[in-house]
Amino acid sequence: MQTPTAKTPLALSPREMAVVHAAAFTNARPWSKAEFSSLLDSRFVFAVGDRRSFALGRVIAGEAELLTIATRPDCWRQGLGRATLQAWVAEAVTRDATEGFLEVAEDNRAARALYVAHGFAETGRRPGYYARDDGPAVDAVLMTATLRKALGAE
């Protein structure tokens, strides 16, 4: 199996993206086909990955925002999240982004560790941002990174 790279064309429809997203985000509201379709209509938005793992982002004025990254649960712990994040960073840099930012749920330890390993650091919080059906809302952790440094991270 090929791992996602910035050169890997994304062969996912908005419907397929919604299916992967729903499988990956079981404790949060997954994004719909319509939401993915609407985002992809923007000239600033790009996607990298494949049917196992993808990332969606946008670059505006030299800043790249990671909108979402999702990996199918049956593909977890295989390095696909890392490869997809690296592909996202590489594509953002080709689009002249120098800084990257994202938000992640405080209770998503695996994603937070992945982002820290790629040079992202916490810069703020949105208290109680993510609702949870099985408990209290959790904070959104805001993170940023210098993308050229993140390219070298493993």
For the chain, domains (ranges, CATH) are 14-151 (3.40.630.30)
The amino acid occupying position 105 is: A
pTM of the model: 0.88
Per-residue pLDDT reduced to its tens digit, 24-70: 987 777 889 999 999 999 999 999 998 899 999 999 999 999 999 99
Predicted pLDDT of residue 25: 85
Residue 134's region, left for phi above 0, alpha for psi from -120 to 50, else beta, is: alpha
Edge-to-edge order in the sheet of strand 121-132: 45-49, 53-60, 63-71, 99-105, 135-146, 121-132
Q: What percent of the chain has pLDDT over 70?
A: 91
What secondary structure letter does DSSP report for 107? T
Confidence of residue 134 (pLDDT cuts 50, 70, 90): confident
CA-CA distances (angstroms) from residue 140 to 8, 49, 106, 131, 137? 30, 24, 6, 10, 10
Per-residue pLDDT reduced to its tens digit, 70-90: 999 888 888 899 999 999 999
